[in-house]
Amino acid sequence: MSLPKTGVLIAAALLLVGCASKTPKSLVTPLPPVAKHPLTSPSAKNTQPMRGIWLATVSRLDWPPVNSVNLSAPLRITQQQQALITKLDKLKSLGINTVFFQVKPDGTALWPSKILPWSDTLTGTIGEDPGYDPLQFILDEAHKRGMKVHAWFNPYRVSSNIKPSTAAELNRTLPLHPASIFVLHRDWIRTSGDRFVLDPGIPEVRDWITSIVAEVVSRYPVDGVQFDDYFYTETPGSMLNDAQTYRQYGQAFSSKGDWRRNNTLQLIEQVSRTIRQLNPNVEFGVSPPGVWRNRSFDAAGSDTRGAAAYDESFADTRRWVQQGLLDYIAPQIYWPFSRDAARYDVLAKWWADVVKTTNTRLYIGVAFYKVGEYSKIEPDWAVNGGVPELKKQLDLNESLPHIHGTILFRENFLERPQTQQAVNYIKSRWGAE
């Protein structure tokens, strides 16, 4: 339970978020900064091995059913809720104990937020009330089955594309309460990776993201909060133009890269501190790319040649672990043992070495989406339905004392024909216990 003074803080903070004033910008007034008490150490809350799965809602990848948005409201609600129940029953039968449910796929929410408009994944229209609370629904149903739910946030993505129709739909939210951040703070919005994104270098943006996490943690019995790997998300043809932000805020840094990494660090620290003050029983974790840095660039890095979070996403994930900012880290090690540039075993052991002197638990993200699919450069995924490769990865995870479990990416692939041998294997391995 929350301490009384924490309850007052939450109430005052949420009141601030909802207050009206002359401009609609008041609707997104960030929570006041959380008092800088010393950070508590990550707790040893979870003794059960992690057997998790990601359930993506962006573009309705895993849920809700794509055709449900075309139904009348009562039928839509029934179909969406029944689909979640069916999924949870299957996950339970496979021995999966934790669902990472994407509650903020972009600049919209899958709960009745005072800060974000409703997600269009639910109804087809941004801001339209779906008639129920999906986050509360999955929490109730999962907890009934003895399963945990981590609220999965994409911190900076505002939209999945930059089509004129997408911009028009975001602009149409202006009369809503709340409207999209796209119209309330156009000065925070950039284009990057062919998406509309928030500029992480603006301090108010980091405050605003923290306020969204605080809203969920203070209102819902979530078991955890997770950020995915989208921090700075550029592509060669669609770079983030933050030159003006760097001029304004980055002059104390010797390079733009160092400044960007510090921006990401500040967000992680702020969110970590906020969660631990609001509810220390809620775990906070990040699921970054599998490679922190390559040894060719940094002697502390892994013996790999993959895209590195430190250099590409400007996320110094190893430092977050060393500073005790995370309860867990779940690197996405999405390659087989035979992939020389980024071997599964090399990376899993490297991460186990990183966490072993800390209180941060290590879960490994496994590429279930590759299982059963033939690939010229990774042929092992298709051998005997991918079961031998999957078995080797799970065996390694369970043999290393500093790895505390596995998370599969992602739920919908449990239904694909090519994964059925692997699904049966998981059920025989995890579900029988």
pLDDT in tens, 402-429: 999 999 999 999 999 999 999 999 999 9
pLDDT beyond 90 at 432: no
Q: Which of 378, 415, 310, 301 is nearest to 53 (CA)?
A: 415
> What are the tens digits of pLDDT across the range 204-250?
999 999 999 999 999 999 999 999 999 999 999 999 999 999 999 99
d(CA 327, CA 183): 35
pLDDT at 21: 33
> What are the tens digits of pLDDT across the range 150-188?
999 999 999 999 999 999 999 999 999 999 999 999 999
DSSP state of 428: I
What totals of helices (H) and strands (E) does the chain contain, helices first? Answer: 13, 10
405 vs 5, more confident: 405
pLDDT at 69: 97
pLDDT beyond 50 at 393: yes
Q: Please state, for a pLDDT cut of 90, what percent of the chain lies above it.
A: 88
pLDDT beyond 50 at 26: no
Long-range pairs for 348-356 at CB < 8 Å and ≥24 separation? 348/393, 348/396, 348/397, 348/400, 348/403, 349/400, 350/292, 350/302, 350/303, 351/403, 352/400, 352/401, 352/402, 352/403, 353/402, 354/292, 354/318, 354/321, 354/322, 355/321, 355/329, 355/402, 356/402
77 vs 5, more confident: 77
Q: Give the torsion sign (CA, 387, 389, 390, 391).
A: positive
Q: Which of 244, 222, 4, 213 is nearest to 109 (CA)?
A: 213
d(CA 161, CA 133): 26
| Cβ within 8 Å of residue 360, ≥6 positions away | 42, 321, 324, 326, 327, 328, 329
> What are the tens digits of pLDDT across the range 307-319?
999 999 999 999 9
d(CA 161, CA 116): 18
d(CA 145, CA 97): 9
What count of other Cβ atoms lies within 10 Å of the Cβ of residue 211? Answer: 21
pLDDT at 142: 98
On average, the pLDDT of the chain sits at 91
Long-range pairs for 425-429 at CB < 8 Å and ≥24 separation? 425/387, 425/390, 425/391, 426/94, 426/95, 426/390, 427/93, 427/94, 427/95, 429/95, 429/394
| Omega cis (within 30) before 388 | no
pLDDT at 47: 72
Q: With bands split at pLDDT 50, 70 and 90, how would you rate the model's confidence at 40?
A: low
pLDDT beyond 90 at 33: no
Q: Pick the range with the lowest mean pLDDT from 41-55, 121-135, 298-312.
A: 41-55
What count of other Cβ atoms lies within 10 Å of the Cβ of residue 314? Answer: 23
> What are the tens digits of pLDDT across the range 78-89?
999 999 999 999
DSSP state of 318: H
Alpha carbon distances (Å) from 30 to 24, 27, 180, 334? 13, 9, 14, 36
pLDDT beyond 80 at 30: no
> What are the tens digits of pLDDT across the range 365-384?
999 999 999 999 999 999 99
| Cβ within 8 Å of residue 373, ≥6 positions away | 381, 382, 386, 418
- Residue matched to tokens 């005072």: 114
Confirm if 13 and 211 have CB atoms less than 8 A apart.
yes
| Omega cis (within 30) before 195 | no
pLDDT beyond 50 at 270: yes
End-to-end CA gap in the chain: 32
> What are the tens digits of pLDDT across the range 94-135?
999 999 999 999 999 999 999 999 999 999 999 999 999 999
Q: Please state, for a pLDDT cut of 70, what percent of the chain lies above it.
A: 89
pLDDT beyond 60 at 299: yes
9 vs 228, more confident: 228
Residue-range domains of the chain with CATH: 4-431 (3.20.20.80)
d(CA 29, CA 173): 17
- Give the dihedral of Cα atoms 88, 90, 96, 99; nearest 10 deg: -30
3-class DSSP string for 2-34:
CCHHHHHHHHHHHHHHHCCCCCHHHHHCCCCCC
SS3 157: strand
Give residue 161's Cα distance to chain centre.
19
Query: Beta 361-366 vs 283-286: how paired, if at all?
Result: unpaired
d(CA 198, CA 190): 6
- Mean pLDDT over 296-315 rounds to 96
- Mean pLDDT over 36-48 rounds to 55
pLDDT at 48: 86
pLDDT at 45: 56
| Cβ within 8 Å of residue 260, ≥6 positions away | 200, 201, 232, 242, 314
Give the helix ranges, DSSP H, for 45-133.
73-94, 120-123
